[in-house]
Structure 1
Amino acid sequence: MEFFYILILAMVQGIAELLPVSSSAHVIVAEKLMGLDPTSPQMTMVLVMLHTGTMFAVIAYYWKSWRETYFASSQQFRANGANLIIATIATGIVGFGLQTIIKHFFAENADKFEIEHLFGNAKLMAAALASAGVLIIISSRMKEKGNDDVNTRSALWIGAVQGLCLPFRGFSRSGATISTGLALGVNRRRAEQFSFALAVVLTPAVIVKEAVRLYKVESASAVNDTAVLLHALFPGLLGMVLSFLTGLIALRWLSRWLEQGRWHFFGAYCLFASLVVLWVG
């Protein structure tokens, strides 16, 4: 893969991943415009590596605030850790359950069906983007209720909504989870912190899943497995560094707009982007 393609994808990923506008949808559209196949194992692996770069950007950006809240005391650590576990379990139940339903009703339990096959569906992506946009706009109208933190109930709901995002590229994970927190009365800053803490928990599992998928697909061919895997990983590693740098810029943008009451602008953009996806698709 050419360096120029990686540069473009990394910039798109780094900016869009940490804004509530669905990085996956933007990256997939960019891939299509460049003549790349977003459903191929190599491209999904590159996409996951780009996610890794933004994950490290999240850790670097939020580490100070997490240290002051999540790691302030052993009691705080246990309480926040329990909420993250609850939300992650809810994500797994809803996400894998939804994938099973999709496979059963829409793919007739085909053995070779993988959820990644949906990633190139422009109509599905546009619908997911529009749904995320509506959710963001509605949540932006909710009045903030003081300094309410994430509790067990809100963690459960946020995790469940995150699970809905897994099969559908375009349904922004950060947009959906932050909006759910706001709708439940969670403080804007706390909702933001919890959403990206969940991202750090979820991303390693996604990386492992895609690495295994890539290895299985390439193992079925007559090509040397190790060489192919390394060949696929190198563009991803380069993109990971670039997405880390652009991700830091995007986080500053998101935090500023969220705290200044401009959250609804992201929702309006998602509605506009859904029309663009339909046109490109």
Structure 2
Amino acid sequence: MTLFEVIVLAIVEGLTEFLPVSSTGHMIIATALMGVSPTPFVKLFTIAIQLGTILSVLVLYYKRFFRSLTFYYKLVVAAIPAVILGFLFSDAIDGLLESPLVVGVTLVIGGIILLFVDKWFNKPSIDDSDEINYGQALKIGLFQCLALIPGMSRSASTIVGGMTQQLTRKAAAEFSFFLAIPMMFGATILKLKDYFDNGNALNGSEINQLIIGNAIGFIVAIIAIKSFIGVVSKYGFKAFGWYRIIVGGIIIALLVSGHSLQIL
């Protein structure tokens, strides 16, 4: 990849990973527009730069991670359903990952849901995600399983799941950020293991690209998280719903017009 492509993909990752808009869908469009080939390193890069975005959550919410052990237990409980389903249905999920059309359609469907989610769950009673119990954490984790379908967005799935459990928009978004840490870290480790197990190696240039990508992702994610919390607390999710519908429509239109899109 060129330095320009590294910067663009890192910005896209940092902006979209924690927003309910599907980072996968945006990566499809970005790589298609730039003509980036899905080489093994490019596929590794798009996953490995998640470490930078994970670090942004740890930096912004570092105090939250020192409150109590029960906080970690709830994250584990919420992570279990997606881990189990991901293991049991890995082949089917891999099949879906080959279809940009699935991403486009699910972006639109998720967007329609976000248009109405503020009206459906408009009587929240929990303004601090630490106040949820284990049963609520598990139910949010079940919603996260929807994110195994490419394009649904892990953030959107878990935020909606949180709102069904009477969390405020802000509390639901923050719990979604925290839950992303074990899921994204695990995905990165597995991707690195798979990359090296297949006989690949990293040269000096590729290591530099990973460092640059993670640094940019970290900075952009901090800005995105702070902005997102403010916007969603005040205005809700309708704008994100329309945005998803537009992005999904772009992907579908590109496919219909004959463009060859790749999921990294």
Q: Distance in 1 between matches of 2:99 and 2:32?
A: 11
Contact 1:95 1:164 in 2 (8 A): no
Q: How does 1:1-281 map to 2 (within 5 A)?
A: 1-38=1-38, 40-64=39-63, 66=64, 71-72=66-67, 77-100=68-91, 102=92, 115=94, 118-141=96-119, 142-147=121-126, 149-166=131-148, 168-217=149-198, 219=199, 225-226=200-201, 228=202, 232-281=206-255
How far 1:127 moved relative to its partner?
Answer: 1.7
Q: Equivalent pairs: percent with the same residue?
A: 26
TM-score by length of 1: 0.81
Corresponding letter in the other structure for 2:71: N
Q: Distance in 2 between matches of 1:135 and 1:177?
A: 13
* Count of residue correspondences: 251
How far 1:120 moved relative to its partner?
Answer: 4.9
Contact 1:177 1:195 in 2 (8 A): yes
Q: Distance in 1 between matches of 2:203 and 2:86?
A: 27
Corresponding letter in the other structure for 2:231: W
Query: Who is 2:262 aligned against?
Result: none
Corresponding letter in the other structure for 2:114: I
SS at the partner of 1:185?
Answer: coil
SS at the partner of 2:126?
Answer: coil
Q: Distance in 2 between matches of 1:44 and 1:169?
A: 15
Q: Distance in 2 between matches of 1:27 and 1:195?
A: 21
Contact 2:16 2:23 in 1 (8 A): yes
| 1:40-90 deviation digits (Å, cap 9, x = unpaired) | 4222211112211111111112224x25xxx33xxxx23322211111111
CA-atom RMSD, angstroms?
A: 2.1
How far 1:23 moved relative to its partner?
Answer: 1.2
TM-score by length of 2: 0.86
Q: Distance in 1 between matches of 2:151 and 2:17?
A: 11
| 1:241-270 deviation digits (Å, cap 9, x = unpaired) | 111111111111210122103222111211
Q: Distance in 2 between matches of 1:195 and 1:230?
A: 35
Q: Distance in 1 between matches of 2:118 and 2:40?
A: 37
How far 1:16 moved relative to its partner?
Answer: 1.2
* Structure 1 gap segments, 5+ residues each: 104-114, 220-224
How far 1:170 moved relative to its partner?
Answer: 1.5
Contact 1:45 1:233 in 2 (8 A): no
Contact 2:25 2:247 in 1 (8 A): no
Cα distance change on mapping 1:17 and 1:51 into 2, 3 Å: same
